[in-house]
A and B are shown apart, each in its own frame.
Chain A
């Protein structure tokens, strides 16, 4: 375990060095990270400006859902999403065997190789807006509720990671479909809408998207005391099942990995 921490520290350091090596990119990435964060709020403010209630969610609740999404996606992009792009590239260009030969867990390397520091801005934007909205709509919070909210966000993060990793694993069979990672960015964006939106469209769609609908909505509903013990257990259970599945699926997929002369 200690060895993995040491390796991760080295990866984090290398990512930081790479970030400062290309300064124009660092500035552009930071601006774009802030822009994406602000964009999420601008779009949800615009969308909710014409109506006060949607699918039983009040305007402020939908905006807080966006705050939760920002915090979650900020952490996710900082720690993981760049790695999935890297993983797709490694599989597409048949370089995975180089990693499989190393004395380290391949899922760890594929998921943790890069840290995208500029996405930290999104976490701050999410937190600032969350505090502003809570104060503006006089929604009181105690340390216990706040603590559980962040714990549930962490569980949601594990679920989101597991979904991404499961989808990315499919690339072992279809390496040319590397753009499926781009699609996952949009799929993650679905977490910022209430689950009722999908339920209303189709029960089957809702069932298919169930993990996505739990990722942010359950922690945010907890803030409004609208969750039962069943909702919380559901999030924990689905996250653990998906994580175990993603790991088993990766191990299974590796049996089918082929490459030549790399």
Chain B
């Protein structure tokens, strides 16, 4: 109920800003609001499931690089006894296999759809004239794609775990598992909000390709896609712990590997809340200002 009230608040405030939702119709969708979003989610799930081959190609994108780097490390482990200090081959293999899941489930890709389809092509006007929150619709549009690709990732993890001599390197501690799930959920929200901000930045810059590419590179380096951030030189590591990218990908993986102490788990959750708040406020300000600049013709 609290969630639905929040949804309603978001909806009514955003809608009011757009001149769509009025006090008269506010009550009429109060009771059915969560169900409407469930339906939106299910519709998008059907769409994502229907395009599962497309989803699989997206998944291959998340799969390819971690497996390549893992093969690279395999060569390093064969040439040297312990090239990565306290990271054993099993730990590093588990890291990259979890990275496949994190890359496919936690890395949100809604920004291109927002910038190109909604803003550049003007489809945003469709959303503005309907009694739904734009951000929530986008959330439920993206979620099915993440679930399906994350599922492919889990299948790969299971498949590869049979080939690992000593099995996967995962936490067995119950508190650690619960905290890891919380970290994953928060990471997903941070990733989503961040990509929403990147997407709506097209309201100002129009041609969006360059920004998308730039953020892509920064993300790969500082989220831990190249190698565990702990193995970076100290100044890069410090910088990556300050930036938000590690809290979307790296720390969720580390928590599942059991490489974070209880204090570090709490610290990670705390920092994730800070980023969530920062991105939430930034998105709100950008949306309110940006929407006034939007022009859609003939939609």
Contact = CB atoms under 8 A, between A and B. Distances in A.
Contact of A29 (B57, B72, B210): B210
Interface in A177-221: 177, 179-180, 182-183, 186-187, 189-190, 193, 196-198, 200-201
A8 interface: no
B99 to A, nearest CB: 14
Interface string A103-123: 000000000000000100000
For the side of the interface on A, what is the size category?
Answer: 35 or more
A183 B79 contact: no
A16 interface: no
B84 A50 contact: yes
B68 A176 contact: no
Interface stretch (B171-179, B211-219, B250-258, B262-270): B211-219
A200 B209 contact: no
Contacts of B57: 177, 179-180, 182-183
Interface stretch (B2-10, B58-66, B122-130, B273-281): B58-66
Interface in A11-64: 22, 24-33, 35-36, 39, 42-43, 46-47, 50-55
A186 B69 contact: no
B196 to A, nearest CB: 19
A55 B83 CA distance: 14
A51 B80 contact: yes
B71 A197 contact: yes
A55 B144 CA distance: 40
B64 A28 contact: no
Nearest to B211: A28
Nearest to B77: A51
Contacts of A252: none
Interface string B46-64: 0000010110011011001
Given A183-B61, A200-B75, A36 B210 contact: no
Contacts of A47: 69, 72, 226-227
A26 B205 CA distance: 11
B65 A176 contact: no
Given A47-B72, A183-B57, A197-B75, A24 B210 contact: yes
Interface of B: 51, 53-54, 57-58, 60-61, 64-65, 68-69, 71-72, 74-76, 79-80, 83-84, 205-211, 213-214, 216-218, 220-221, 226-227, 231-232
Interface of A: 22, 24-33, 35-36, 39, 42-43, 46-47, 50-55, 118, 174, 176-177, 179-180, 182-183, 186-187, 189-190, 193, 196-198, 200-201
29 contacts: A24-B207, A25-B208, A25-B210, A28-B210, A32-B210, A32-B217, A33-B213, A36-B213, A39-B217, A42-B221, A42-B226, A46-B227, A46-B231, A47-B226, A50-B84, A54-B72, A54-B76, A54-B79, A55-B75, A176-B54, A177-B57, A179-B61, A183-B57, A183-B61, A186-B61, A186-B64, A197-B68, A200-B75, A201-B74
